[in-house]
Chains A and B, each alone.
Chain A
Amino acid sequence: MAFLLLRRLVQTALILLGVAAITFLLLYALPADPARMIAGRSATAQTVANIRRELGLDQPLLVQFWTYLQGLVQGDLGRSYAQKTDVGALIAARLPATLILMAAGIFVEVLLGIALGVLAAVRRGGFIDRLVMMASFVGVSAPQFVAALLLLYVFAVTLAWFPMSGFGTFAHVVLPALTLGILGAGWYARMVRSAMIDVLNQDYVRTARAKGLSSFRIVFRHALPNALLPVVAMIGIDIGQFMSGVVVVEAVYGWPGIGQLAWQAIQQVDIPIIMGVTLVSALAIVIGNLIADLVAPLIDPRIRAR
């Protein structure tokens, strides 16, 4: 186990290094010029050249990358071009808002997904099953921004139950979390359904039925815990997906997380921030996958034995 963990940690470091290298190359190769962006339209060639030298952009690519890596291993993500502050601090300031949104969104997803998945599995083949399966398809086919605008229109504009945008109170988190949760619940529902169907067909469930236990007890106490393993793995994968996909929802709801930070940085060609957010998102993906792999054996002794 310890050896496995060590190997995964080395792999994680290598993957992050690779992500850093590819992102760096891509941003370098793109036609957008940050120095010109900072200098503004009317700046002279001399000013642009000065800014370029100041930011180290006149150095060869490899030298720039090496400098960046040296900072990175010390936890230094560089300085923002536009805001002139430490990228690490900027991200750290925005991260809590994104994490709150992520936790709330995953909470809605898991709750809704499990409820619908169990319902569909118990009523397998029936009308409710088909309805749930269809709804889950609609959920995963819906564009996030349309769902966000729809919830905004119904609950913020028409009914005025929740604020349009912003951050700070519980009411602010409801609509963004519902947007993420309702759409994502489809995957969970499908997975829980298929896992529940497998479990409900097993002998121990039949034994429980033969003992005369109530259906409710069988489903929730005996079957459901064994069907939750894939959900744990799914949450791990979801964590990574969230970090990457949060830009859209944060843009619609004016949520001050790292998605919004990235979106502003992209418009200003603020490369250090773009690099930083990409690396943090990649880290989230890798950690999420790690959680998915490591938690499974903790829950299920059969996997540990392998």
Chain B
Amino acid sequence: MHVLKSMIRQPAALFGLVVVALVVLLALAAPLVAPYSPDEQMFDGLTLEGAPLPPSAQFLLGTDALGRDLLSRLLYGARTSLVIGLVANGIAVTIGLLIGILSGYMRGLVGNALMRFTDLMMAFPALLLAIVLAALLRPSLWIVAMVIALVNWVQVARIVYTETRGLVERDFILAERSLGAGHGRILFYHILPHLIPTAIVWGTLGIATTVLLEATLSFLGIGVQPPTPSWGNIIFESQSYFQAAPWLVFIPGAVILLTALSFNLVGDALRDLLDPTQRGRG
């Protein structure tokens, strides 16, 4: 509650919070608010020459090359983006937490090996890896989510590792240990709770990264496959004639930007609130 209150006081964070809430609500209510079915190719959705229609009273944001309503596709596309955002990011944060905690807590061979592996993954060209994987696997919504998770856990692992190393040195852990607490108890009851803020912050910031990555993969034609609408593949399908119908590229583009920006703003505000030492930095 206290966190929510402080966020409402900052205009940027409030803006982010409102947009995030709006995107989530609209995605959930897509069948109720969408004026048309996202896949319906309408006769009156194209000009007589077969070109897409610009925004009008009938089609608020215009239509795409197949005569489908852009607004309806964007609303359903929000579902795609959010599902991928939550799944991919949930997996990434879980893997990152697990590897980070274990490598930070366990000295010796296992901890070292895990950290070296993380270092190795840091040297991997992430976007290139994602593109290669998505292209060579048969892309689907879940494959895209897995690919993104596979690329995105590394940063979380590094941060969790550093924090865990700091926590292990603290006196209260030493006290627990001397009282005879087992590793499991220390990890779950004493270290994990301290890492929750980090997980929340990176979970939020990670959704922005994920939305951007999904859009990028879909834009290259190797992300979510049509006819399932995704913000990226709407642009992919329209880019060849974006000179004639720029709204088909720039409206979804603006939606992607706004969503990523809002998750970033909320994540940044959360970081400031949960970790005052980072305030105003990076």
Chain A contact residues, CB within 8 Å of chain B? 15-16, 18-19, 22, 26-27, 30-32, 134, 137-138, 140-146, 149-150, 153, 157, 190-191, 194, 197, 240, 243-245, 247-248, 251, 262-263, 266-267, 269, 274, 277-278, 281-282, 284-286, 289
Contacts and interface: CB of A to CB of B under 8 A. Distances in A.
B225 interface: no
A18 B265 CA distance: 36
Contacts of B215: 143, 145-146
Nearest to A187: B282
B239 interface: yes
Max chain A CB contacts within 10 Å: which of B125, B246, B260, B264? B125
Interface of A is mostly: helix
A197 B281 CA distance: 10
A251 B220 contact: yes
B93 to A, nearest CB: 19
B219 interface: yes
A194 B280 contact: yes
A281 B235 CA distance: 28
Contacts of A244: 125-128
25 contacts: A26-B133, A30-B133, A30-B136, A31-B136, A31-B137, A137-B261, A137-B264, A138-B261, A140-B264, A141-B257, A142-B260, A143-B215, A143-B257, A146-B215, A149-B249, A194-B282, A244-B126, A247-B127, A248-B220, A251-B220, A262-B131, A266-B132, A266-B135, A274-B132, A278-B132
A142 B256 CA distance: 8
A146 B256 contact: yes
B174 interface: no
Interface string B112-126: 000000011011111
A282 B126 CA distance: 10
A183 to B, nearest CB: 11
Contact of B120 (A18, A26, A140, A251): A18
A243 B126 CA distance: 10
A59 to B, nearest CB: 20
Contacts of B253: 143, 146, 149-150
Contacts of A141: 208, 212, 257, 260-261, 264
Interface of B: 12, 119-120, 122-129, 131-133, 135-138, 208, 212, 215-216, 219-220, 235, 239, 242-243, 246, 249-250, 253, 256-257, 260-261, 264-265, 268, 280-282
A32 B133 CA distance: 10
A242 to B, nearest CB: 10
B128 A262 contact: yes
The 7 closest A-B pairs by CB, nearest first: A244-B125, A146-B253, A281-B125, A141-B261, A141-B260, A18-B120, A30-B136
Contacts of B131: 247, 262-263, 266
Interface of B is mostly: helix
A149 B128 contact: no
Contacts, number: 127
A204 to B, nearest CB: 22
A146 B243 CA distance: 14
A152 to B, nearest CB: 8
A153 B251 CA distance: 14
A145 B215 CA distance: 9
A56 B246 CA distance: 48
Nearest to A245: B127
Given A18-B120, A243-B125, A278-B128, A194 B281 contact: yes
A278 B280 contact: no
B123 A278 contact: no
Given A143-B253, A191-B282, A137 B265 contact: yes
A56 to B, nearest CB: 19
Given A244-B126, A285-B122, 8 more contacts: A15-B120, A15-B123, A146-B250, A157-B243, A240-B123, A247-B127, A247-B131, A267-B135
A141 B239 CA distance: 21
B84 to A, nearest CB: 14
B54 to A, nearest CB: 15
A149 B239 contact: yes
